[in-house]
Each structure stands twice: as C-alpha cells, then as structure tokens.
Chain A
Amino acid sequence: MSDQNVNPMLPDNFSISRIKTETDDTFTLELQPSKGILNLDFEPGQFNMLYVFGVGEIPISISGDPCSKDKLVHTTRVVGTVTKAMRKLRIGDQVGVRGPYGNPWPVELAKGKDVILVAGGIGLAPIRPVINHIIANRGDYNNVVLLYGTRTPQDILYPKEIAKWSEVHNILSFVTVDRAVGEWDGNVGVVTKLVARAPFDPHNAVAMACGPEVMMRFTILEMQKRGIPDESIFVSTERNMKCGIGMCGHCQFGAEFVCKDGPVFRYDKIAKLFEVWEV
C-alpha cells in the first residue's frame, strides 16, 4: 500500500467506513485510508495484516472485489482476542493495515478452463475475490462451479450474492449444510460430496479449495476420484502468521512460509505436508 521499502512492519492507518454483520460470529469491515491516496490493488487470495491498536495484529484475507479500488474489504470471524476487539470497533475507528501479502489464487492459469471453487465456512471469504474476478472476465472461463458447505443454514456467508452469482453470472452454485435447522430446504451433508455432482472436465479444470484443513483433505480425495491432477488443485492454508513477509518463521510449513509462499499452494507442492500431523 504505502512505500513498504521504508519499513515493512509499519502499518498504514485506515478508518472503518462500514461494518456489516454477516452471521452470529462473522462480520465484514470496509476500510478506507485515513489520509492520502493509497494503492489498494491486490490479487484474489492475498491477505492483509490488520492491527487493532493496543490489542494485536492478525492476518485476514481480503474478501472484496479486486476491481474496486476505493476500499479494502475484510470478512472475519470472532475467534480470538484480536477479532473480539475488532468486532467492538465502530465506524470511524482506526485500524492499522500492512499488505497485501501472499501468493494469490491462479486466476490466470484457470483461463480457458473449468473452475471448481470449494469453500467451507469462513473459507468463502478468500474465494469471493476469485468469483468477483471471474465475473469481471466471465468470457475467459468455461464452467464455473461453487461448492460451499457450512455448519447450519444460519452460517451461510453472502447468501444474496451466491444467489446472484448463480442467476446472473452463470456460476453454478451448490450449497450444503452439515446440520439442517429451521425451514432449510437445501442440501444436507458434507461439502466434499458435492464434488461428484459438479459438471467439469477434469482434464481441463482448475480447482481451488479453502476451508478447514480436514475438509480440504477430503475435498482433494474427491477431486482425485474425479481425475483432476494434483497440479491443477490449489489450496489455501492457514498457519499462525506474524510478520507477513517470511522473516519471523511463525508460519513455517515444512520448507515453505505460509505468509510468503502461500497462503495459496499448488497441492502437489505440499501434498507430503498434508500427511504430516505436526509440521
């Protein structure tokens, strides 16, 4: 954003311009630079380090539209000290931002191919910029399928957008929940089982998966059953990131640093690490 050559650990000040409650434990912040004009370019799959002053700094995926240059959008879930404090912030409050960081989703590689997007829970947030990118360049992609699983119907992120992606932008969307409650009339069952229903040519497809690691492991198995080669499967991993620039080693994943070499990895590059209990 700012001239990171000065000090890559120094955040820029942003102010919160909008807060949206997505679900019981998930919310979206829209951020704008507090002063001056900053370059807000990012690639789908990248993340920023968000700093709640006096509390701490955490990595959060960028979940906005990469074509939108006037704000940063971050959807996050309340799980720890920083996100709890972040949820208490109000419009006009300041946060520090460093980034964008990380290896993005392979949207260029996917051109001319079928695209299968598999998301679990909050994992839809880092996938949304891919969808925004595809919508802006719809003619560059063949079949696009979104497979999305959540815990309950109340936990579904961006439900209106999902409907619009399907109806307006020809992105075939299957949503499933692990537990049906209320008047839910949709699919019930694990998201991995939706892979079998998705229409795609395994020899001309790119798959991108983001969600809990266990979910991704079983998603990969289903992809392999369908015949997608490992080098066409991409996963977004999550580790305890601290510096965001591959210096501190907090997020080391085998020989890789999740913050710098990831969070998006081609599956064949890290397949061995997926089999290791503790890296």
Chain B
Amino acid sequence: METLERFLTEHNFLVNLEPEFVKQIVGCASNVHFSAGDFICREGRDADKFYFIREGKVALDIHMPQRGPVTIMTLNSDQVLGWSWLFPPYRWQFNAQAKTDVAAIAVDGSCLRAKCINDRLFGYEILKRFSQILADRLQSTRLQLMDVYSANG
C-alpha cells in the first residue's frame, strides 16, 4: 500500500492532488504486470479498470477488416491507459496490447466511481484530470488528421 501511495503521489496525472484523495485511489488500486504481447484490454469488453503505466510500452489499436490491427497511439511510462471506465456503457473502445513487459497500477473503475459519487469534490478532481487527458488526446488526433507532414501540410 505504501509503495502504491508513493508511486501515485509522484505520478504526473495526480500531481498536487490532496493526499486524502490519493489514499482514496489507493483503496481501489493494485499492482499488475503484463508480458510483451499480452492484451490488457479488448475492444467491446467491459471497461472495469484503468491503468497507471509504471514501466513499458502499450499500443492502442483497433482491428480493421482487410488490414488487421491498426495502432492508433502508443502509451509509455507515466501515462494513463483507459477512460472508458468513466462513461456508460463502460466498454473498451480499443484494444490495448503490451509491446514490452509492462508494470502498471490497475484501478478498479466501479470502486472509484462509487467514491466519486460519495465525495463530489474528489469526483470533480478525478473528472477534471481525465478531461485533461481527453482534451490532450483530442488535440493530438486533430494534429494527426491535419497530416502536417504531407506535401501540402
């Protein structure tokens, strides 16, 4: 527990979060490990967790007919994997596959949602931080769509 708390306190995503709030997350968290090639989540399955990546690389991909899996983005240490746990119907939108051995902290989504409902200030902090992730990824996607490296970019 102490290790989890120390790691989470230092994580980018939780910077300046009140220690009491960090403790609430720790109460829903556990250490997990994945080997290279393991699927951490699969598109369409229940999104009952999200992950703080401690070490390793994870590829988010989506399966396209005729083309197979297409990697949309990669995540590395100090990043957060998964926001589908936050919104109904709580299903993964993409596959996530470990590209290397991955050490992560898994957080139980339903456990954290319950705490967010019980403590609205805590819930606001969590939602605000996940909104930042969503905004960042939207911005990145826009840049990718602009195809800035093309001849007309």
Contacts and interface: CB of A to CB of B under 8 A. Distances in A.
A188 B149 contact: no
A212 interface: yes
B52 to A, nearest CB: 15
Interface stretch (A11-19, A190-198, A249-257): A190-198
Q: Please classify the interface of chain A as helix (H, G, I), strand (E, B), loop, or mixed, using the class held by over half of its residues.
A: mixed
Interface string A100-125: 00000000000000000000111000
B140 A215 contact: no
Contacts of A197: 76, 78
Interface stretch (B65-73, B87-95, B105-113): B65-73
B149 A151 contact: yes
Interface of A: 25, 77, 79, 120-122, 149-151, 155, 176, 178-180, 184-190, 192-193, 196-197, 211-212, 214-215, 218
Contacts of A150: 149
Given A184-B71, A188-B72, A212 B140 contact: no
Nearest to B144: A178
Interface string B136-153: 100110011011111101
The 7 A-B pairs with the shortest beta carbon distances in the complex, nearest first, are A121-B149, A180-B71, A212-B148, A151-B149, A189-B73, A190-B143, A188-B71
Contact of B139 (A180, A184, A218): A218
26 contacts: A121-B148, A121-B149, A149-B149, A151-B149, A155-B149, A176-B74, A179-B144, A186-B74, A187-B74, A188-B72, A189-B73, A189-B74, A193-B136, A193-B140, A196-B12, A196-B78, A197-B76, A211-B148, A211-B149, A212-B149, A214-B143, A214-B146, A214-B153, A215-B143, A218-B139, A218-B143
B76 A188 contact: no
Contacts of A120: 148-149
Nearest to A174: B76
Given A178-B144, A187-B76, A188-B59, 15 more contacts: A77-B151, A179-B144, A180-B70, A184-B71, A187-B74, A188-B74, A190-B143, A190-B144, A192-B143, A193-B140, A196-B12, A197-B76, A211-B149, A214-B148, A218-B139
A21 B150 CA distance: 18
Contact of B149 (A178, A185, A187, A196): A178
B54 interface: no
B100 to A, nearest CB: 9
Contact of A151 (B136, B139, B140, B150): B150
Q: Please classify the interface of chain B as helix (H, G, I), strand (E, B), loop, or mixed, using the class held by over half of its residues.
A: mixed
Contacts of A149: 149
Given A178-B147, A188-B59, A212 B71 contact: no
Contacts of A184: 71
A79 B149 CA distance: 12
B49 interface: no
Contacts of B59: 188
Contacts of A151: 147, 149-150
A212 B153 contact: yes
Nearest to A189: B73
Contacts of A79: 151
Nearest to B152: A79
Nearest to B70: A180
B139 to A, nearest CB: 7
Interface string B93-120: 0000001000000000000000000000
A79 B72 CA distance: 28
